[in-house]
Structure 1
Amino acid sequence: MHFDEILSVIGGFGKFQKLLYVWICLPQIFLAFHMLVSIFSGAVPPHLCRATWPSAGAPASSNLNLSASDGRPQLSCTAPFNHSGAIDLGNGLPAGSCQGGWEYSTETFQNTIVSEWDLVCDNANLNNLGSSIYMFGLLVGAVVFGCLADKYGRRIIILVNLAIQAIFGVGAAFAPNFYVYTALRFVVGTSISGVIMNAFVLGTEWTGSKQRMLAGLITDYFFGFGYILLAGVAYLIRDWRKLQLAISAPGFLFIFYIWVLPKSARWLMANDRKEEAWELIQKAAQMNGKPLTKDLEMCQVYKIEEKTGVKKKHSIIDLVRTPKMRKQSLIVFYLWFANVLVYYGLSLNISDLGMNIYLTQMIFGLVEMPARTITLFTLNRSRKISQLAFLAVGGTACLLTIFIPSDLSVIKTVLAMIGKFGITASLSIIYVYSAEVFPTVIRQNGIGIGSMCARTGGVLAPMMYLLKGISPQAPMVLCGLCPLLGSALTLLLPETANKPLPDTIEDVEGSNLR
Structure 2
Amino acid sequence: MASEMNFDEILSVIGGFGKFQKILYIWICLPQIFLAFHMLVSVFTGAVPTHVCRSMWPSAGAPASLNFSLVTASDGQPKSSCEVPLNHSGALAHVDGLPAVSCQGGWEYSTKTFQSTIVTEWDLVCENASLNTMGSSIYMFGLLVGAVVFGSLADKYGRRIIILISLAIQSVFGVAAAFAPNFYIYTALRFMVGTSISGVIMNVFVVGTEWTGSKQRMLAGIITDYFFGFGYILLAGVAYLIRDWRKLQLAISAPGFLFIFYIWALPKSARWLMANGRKEEAWELIRKAAQMNGKPINKDLEMCQVCKTEEKTVIKKKHSFLDLVRTPNMRKRSLIIFYLWFVNVLVYYGLSLNISDFGMNIYLTQMIFGLVEMPARTITLFTLNRSRKFSQLAFLTVGGTACLLTIFIPSDLSVIKTVLAMIGKFGITASLSIIYVYSAEVFPTVIRQNGIGIGSMCARTGGVLAPMMYLLRHISPQAPMILCGLCPLLGSALTLMLPETASKPLPDTIEDIEQSNISEEDGGVKPNHL
TM-score scaled by length of structure 2:
0.92
Residues 302 and 99 of structure 1, relative CA distance in 2, 3 Å threshold: farther
**Alpha-carbon distance between aligned partners in 2 of 1:278 and 1:52, rounded to the nearest angstrom:** 73
Amino acid in structure 1 at the alignment position of 2:444: P
* Structure 1 residue 110: Cα displacement: 1.0
- Other structure's SS at 1:358 match: helix
* Structure 1 residue 464: Cα displacement: 1.0
Specify which of 25, 32, 43 is matched with residue 28 of structure 1: 32
Contact 1:228–1:366, Cα closer than 8 Å, also in 2: yes
**Alpha-carbon distance between aligned partners in 1 of 2:463 and 2:311, rounded to the nearest angstrom:** 40
Partner of 2:330: 325
Residues 63 and 362 of structure 1, relative CA distance in 2, 3 Å threshold: closer
Partner of 1:230: 235
* Structure 1 residue 148: Cα displacement: 0.2
Residues 205 and 74 of structure 1, relative CA distance in 2, 3 Å threshold: closer
Partner of 1:66: 69
* Structure 1 residue 3: Cα displacement: 0.4
Contact 1:231–1:361, Cα closer than 8 Å, also in 2: yes
* Structure 1 residue 98: Cα displacement: 2.0
Specify which of 200, 205, 216 is matched with residue 205 of structure 2: 200
- 106-115 vs 400-409, greater mean Cα deviation: 400-409
Amino acid in structure 2 at the alignment position of 1:412: K
Contact 1:170–1:245, Cα closer than 8 Å, also in 2: yes
Residues 291 and 304 of structure 1, relative CA distance in 2, 3 Å threshold: closer
Specify which of 111, 117, 128 is matched with residue 116 of structure 2: 111
Q: How does 1:413-424 map to 2 (within 5 A)?
A: 413-424=418-429
Amino acid in structure 2 at the alignment position of 1:37: V
Amino acid in structure 2 at the alignment position of 1:154: R
Amino acid in structure 1 at the alignment position of 2:409: I
Q: Does 1:483 align with 2:462?
A: no
* Structure 1 residue 54: Cα displacement: 2.3
* Structure 1 residue 296: Cα displacement: 1.0
Specify which of 327, 344, 347 is matched with residue 349 of structure 2: 344
Residues 352 and 176 of structure 1, relative CA distance in 2, 3 Å threshold: same
* Structure 1 residue 447: Cα displacement: 0.3
Q: Does 1:3 align with 2:7?
A: yes
Q: How does 1:503-514 map to 2 (within 5 A)?
A: 503-511=508-516, 512=519
**Alpha-carbon distance between aligned partners in 1 of 2:488 and 2:312, rounded to the nearest angstrom:** 41
Q: How does 1:167-182 map to 2 (within 5 A)?
A: 167-182=172-187
Amino acid in structure 1 at the alignment position of 2:76: R
Q: How does 1:256-295 map to 2 (within 5 A)?
A: 256-295=261-300
- Other structure's SS at 2:306 match: coil
Q: How does 1:130-141 map to 2 (within 5 A)?
A: 130-141=135-146
* Structure 1 residue 473: Cα displacement: 1.3
**Alpha-carbon distance between aligned partners in 1 of 2:478 and 2:100, rounded to the nearest angstrom:** 33
**Alpha-carbon distance between aligned partners in 2 of 1:254 and 1:366, rounded to the nearest angstrom:** 27
**Alpha-carbon distance between aligned partners in 1 of 2:11 and 2:103, rounded to the nearest angstrom:** 67
TM-score scaled by length of structure 1:
0.95
Partner of 2:52: 48
Q: Does 1:381 align with 2:376?
A: no
Partner of 2:400: 395
- Other structure's SS at 1:76 match: coil
* Structure 1 residue 472: Cα displacement: 1.4
* Structure 1 residue 373: Cα displacement: 0.2
Residues 356 and 323 of structure 1, relative CA distance in 2, 3 Å threshold: same
Aligned residue pair count: 511
Unaligned runs of 5+ in 2: 525-530
Residues 71 and 379 of structure 1, relative CA distance in 2, 3 Å threshold: closer
**Alpha-carbon distance between aligned partners in 1 of 2:204 and 2:250, rounded to the nearest angstrom:** 24
* Structure 1 residue 471: Cα displacement: 1.3
**Alpha-carbon distance between aligned partners in 2 of 1:384 and 1:214, rounded to the nearest angstrom:** 16
- 183-192 vs 118-127, greater mean Cα deviation: 118-127
Q: Does 1:217 align with 2:222?
A: yes
Partner of 1:189: 194
* Structure 1 residue 122: Cα displacement: 1.6
- After superposition, the CA RMSD in angstroms is 2.4
* Structure 1 residue 320: Cα displacement: 0.4
Q: Does 1:425 align with 2:462?
A: no
Partner of 1:144: 149
Amino acid in structure 1 at the alignment position of 2:69: L
* Structure 1 residue 74: Cα displacement: 3.6
* Structure 1 residue 304: Cα displacement: 5.8
- Measured against aligned partners, the alpha-carbon deviations of 1:262-313 in whole angstroms (never above 9, x if no partner) come to 0000000100000110000000000000011232132242746978973221
- Other structure's SS at 1:510 match: helix
- 473-482 vs 163-172, greater mean Cα deviation: 473-482
- Other structure's SS at 1:500 match: coil
**Alpha-carbon distance between aligned partners in 2 of 1:371 and 1:494, rounded to the nearest angstrom:** 23
Residues 95 and 317 of structure 1, relative CA distance in 2, 3 Å threshold: farther
* Structure 1 residue 411: Cα displacement: 1.2
Q: Does 1:100 align with 2:93?
A: no
Partner of 1:367: 372
Partner of 2:528: none
Amino acid in structure 1 at the alignment position of 2:55: A
**Alpha-carbon distance between aligned partners in 2 of 1:124 and 1:96, rounded to the nearest angstrom:** 18
Specify which of 9, 13, 17 is matched with residue 17 of structure 2: 13
**Alpha-carbon distance between aligned partners in 1 of 2:84 and 2:474, rounded to the nearest angstrom:** 24
- 97-106 vs 13-22, greater mean Cα deviation: 97-106
